[in-house]
Amino acid sequence: MADYRLETSWRPVENSFGRLTFTLFNLSTEPLSGFSLAYTTETRVADNHVCDGGSLKRQVAHFHEFLPPEGLSVRPGGHWRFTVEGLTREPKHVSAGVKSAYLTLAEGRHVPVEFSDLHLEGRDGGAAAPLLPVGSVPDPYSLLPWPLLLGLKAGELPVILYPAEKTRPDAIKSLSLVLALYQRLYPAANAPFSLSAIKGGRAIRFATESSIAGSAYELRFTAHEIVLSSADEAGRQYGLISLAQLMHGARADRERFKFPNFGTIADQPRYDWRGCHLDVARQFYPVADVNRLIDILAWNKLNIFHWHLTDDEAWRLEIKAYPALTEIGARRGPDEVLVPQLGDGAETRAGHYTQDDVRQIVAHAASLHIEVVPEIDIPGHGTATLLSLPELVDGQEAPASYRAVQGYPNNALNPAVEFTYEFLGKVFDEVVALFPSEYLHIGGDEVAQRAWLTSPLCSALMEREKLAGTPELQAYFLRRIKTMLSERGRKLAGWNEVSHGGGVDRDGTLLMAWEQPAVGIELAQQGYNVVITPGQAYYLDMAQSEAWAEPGAAWAGYSSPEHTYAYEAEDDLPEALQEKMRGIQACIWTENFVSRGYFNRLVFPRLSAVAEAAWTPLTRKDWDRFAAIVRMWPIL
């Protein structure tokens, strides 16, 4: 137990974003004086604020440090209270308060402070409603995503499935791989497959059928065998996952789910790009967690893992040419170059992926037909980069001359500093060697409106290249980046803002529409290939209902699992532009993800909802069926 606890509440105030009240309890046996209180939160204090009972000493984005009044001493069992009015946004949910807290004592020691929810004053917060109905299954088969075509008759549940006699070694390997996947996901369940024939089981006969589309498969069931046909290894793997899913449901809930002994499944994915993104900058996820998420993606038949490796809060990828990126840029703490952010307390937290880690993760994903698309987020979201390598900064630029939406000052790599390109060239060389993906994602999002305008080097560049303002500077930068990627044989993926200021060559560029659903249409009209990932439906960090009691972020609204499930990215996309749409993606932004429980509560079952939308045609979607099946699906 910590010696201190912080309670935080919020009260609405007309014409403002309300007032926060902080109460720090001294549970120790000593009086507390000469200290400061630091906490992290997404509900940031604005420059223009009024603090009663204390004062703001320092703020860096989500990090805040407050001082008590001169000479204050909090007796054992006593408390210190202060209020703040003047916030950058209105808190909407219980999770919008403190994410970590600590005290710095008079002698410089940092000690932990416990905390909990942001309490709502003076108004009923509403109850968090159930988000998933019991559901129902008109066809008693546990398959998710639901297949394109299915005509089955239920029969006896086989005790196990095994490869037919004379099955080729590559198919046996496939079966073993899916069996291992199942065992990792459901370690307490019985194996659905055996490599050897077992009496009472059913044989799977594998067929290669070149007329079947890539990644597609067919299953034909009879009472004595199952024929799995596909043209390629991916299709075969998806067919085997379907069989494991059928076995799992039929065993887990014999009332609801059956195994077929007659009929066919003919299945293929709706989109080529069935993605899931994970932000490992705000929170670090060790290799085992990343591998488990990849397993979960495979089980849901997703095929792209978009790995958000860098952001203001951290740089997580080992780069041999620049060890400072992880030595400095992957550590946050009270006495580190990077101050504590979302979830960091009195102790330094550090974490990055070595290049060996990356090779292992990429190979693991590839074995499950998942491509890992790395993201190096540039030119914005660069605080960790710039603090690790100060040579990247134009020393003549006015300090804090612009600020990103998350509050970081001067956080964009400078397009007029020539070292920027030398640095990124070396980074790309190493990234290309690690990741065999078709695309490298270079971010491009959320560069602050007036970025670089006080940099004399940028002024000179703007004059020389006849560039007007931040968006054109950004486009100049991104065009050079695009060339650098092309020289390395890679295509460019980025967020929708890559199109700003004239954008980049459409050829070999894929943009992710996140800000609004309509943005995807505009990008397609401009000639870009697009992946649709609107914050309003596919950002899995958003709260799942409007209720205060339901945790989550709120800046893009809220999205219930049913809304995420029902959302149709193609709805407003004109027919002529549909060929530009490569697919859809879920994004897991982790600012708020301070615990495993929180991760699971927000990510599931919405991740599977996106997976089904990515695989199953609209006419085959069925929320009730989805709800009945998804409750058996694995979580992190």
Query: Which own/partner contact pairs does 184-189 have at CB distance under 8 Å and 24+ positions apart?
Result: 184/292, 184/295, 185/295, 185/296, 185/299, 185/634, 186/248, 186/634, 189/248, 189/251, 189/252
Q: Output the smallest distance, CB 514 to ligand ACM, in A.
A: 5
Total interface residues for ligand ACM by CB under 6 A: 4
Q: Which is nearer to ligand ACM, 103 or 610 (CB)?
A: 610
How far apart CA 513 and CA 519 sit, in angstroms, is: 6
Catalytic pick from 446, 497, 591, 612? 446
Examine residue 446 and tell whether it contacts ligand ACM (CB under 6 A). yes
Helices in 194-286 by DSSP H: which ranges? 233-252
Q: Which is nearer to ligand ACM, 65 or 311 (CB)?
A: 311
How far apart CA 156 and CA 143 sit, in angstroms, is: 17
How far apart CA 35 and CA 69 sit, in angstroms, is: 10
Residue selected from 397, 445, 550, 622 as contacting ligand ACM according to rule CB under 6 A:
445
Encoded one letter per residue, x for contact with ligand ACM by CB under 6 A and - for no contact, window 482-511 reads: -------------x----------------
CA 569 to chain centre: 19
Q: Which is nearer to ligand ACM, 333 or 494 (CB)?
A: 494
Q: Output the smallest distance, CB 553 to ligand ACM, in A.
A: 10
At 479, list the tokens: 């065009």
Interface with ligand ACM in residues 357-386 (CB under 6 A): none
Task: Return the amino acid letter for 613.
Answer: A
Q: Which of 150, 74, 445, 36 is nearest to 277 (CA)?
A: 445
Encoded one letter per residue, x for contact with ligand ACM by CB under 6 A and - for no contact, window 94-113 reads: --------------------
At 159, list the tokens: 């005790």
90 is catalytic: no
The helix-helix angle for 233-252 and 169-185 (nearest 10°) equals 40
Q: Which is nearer to ligand ACM, 514 or 633 (CB)?
A: 514
Please give the helix or strand (H or E) that residue 627 lies within, else none: helix 623-630
At 597, list the tokens: 């429980």
How far apart CA 608 and CA 150 sit, in angstroms, is: 20
Rounded to 5°, the CA angle 254-258-263 comes to 175
Q: Output the smallest distance, CB 585 to ligand ACM, in A.
A: 11
Q: Which is nearer to ligand ACM, 397 or 445 (CB)?
A: 445
Q: Output the smallest distance, CB 495 to ligand ACM, in A.
A: 4
Strand order in the sheet with 98-104: 55-60, 63-67, 36-41, 98-104, 110-112
Q: Output the smallest distance, CB 275 to ligand ACM, in A.
A: 13
Residue selected from 353, 514, 565, 626 as contacting ligand ACM according to rule CB under 6 A:
514
Please give the helix or strand (H or E) that residue 471 lies within, else none: helix 469-487
Q: Output the smallest distance, CB 533 to ligand ACM, in A.
A: 8
Q: Output the smallest distance, CB 377 to ligand ACM, in A.
A: 8
Examine residue 538 and tell whether it contacts ligand ACM (CB under 6 A). no
Task: Return the amino acid letter for 70.
Answer: E
Residue, CB closest to ligand ACM: 445
Q: Which is nearer to ligand ACM, 452 or 514 (CB)?
A: 514
Q: Which is nearer to ligand ACM, 208 or 516 (CB)?
A: 516
How far apart CA 51 and CA 561 sit, in angstroms, is: 39
Residues involved in catalysis? 446
Contact positions vs ligand ACM (CB under 6 A): 445-446, 495, 514
